[in-house]
Amino acid sequence: MGAMNTQIQSTHWQLAPETDGVSVVSGVDDIHLCIANILSTQKGTDILRPEFGSDHFKFIDYPEDVAVPNFVREITQALQKWENRIVIDEVLVDGEAPHFTFTVSWSLTDDVYREIYRTQVQQ
């Protein structure tokens, strides 16, 4: 395994798996990856952080009129707790049980221009 020659220029970064090795994601890409990690983790499955993740998984098999508002609530609460670099603008739910796509529209908390970003996560 070779040494990494990557100069990290951002305060926010993390290692990301790649097919050919390891790469670094930083800035907004880091936030996209963090959102995907939070929404892909069911609460209680991370033994070092039992509260980490989201409880939206509980509502996968509920009727749509019950599931969608619960998805939005659980996703919003999880992201507000675990990703304090962003402000959630909107959570959209698309698809049918058990295959949903969640689109989170968000902006950076310290962004002057309030540029809106979108992160899609498929379940």
Check which CATH number belongs to the domain holding 27 and give it: 3.10.450.40
Classified as helix, coil or strand, 21 is: strand
Residue 7 within any structural domain of the chain: no
Residue 104 within any structural domain of the chain: yes
Classified as helix, coil or strand, 71 is: helix
Residue 1 within any structural domain of the chain: no
pLDDT of 24: 73
pLDDT of 1: 40
CB 91 within 8 A of CB 104: yes
Residue 8 within any structural domain of the chain: no
Classified as helix, coil or strand, 122 is: strand
Sequence-separated contacts (24+) of 69-72 with Cβ below 8 Å: 71/100, 71/102
pLDDT of 96: 87
Average pLDDT for runs of 10 along the chain of length 123: 54 64 76 94 94 95 94 98 96 92 95 90 90
Number of domains in the chain: 1
Residue 6 within any structural domain of the chain: no
* pTM, two decimal places: 0.83
Classified as helix, coil or strand, 6 is: coil
Owning domain of residue 69: 16-122
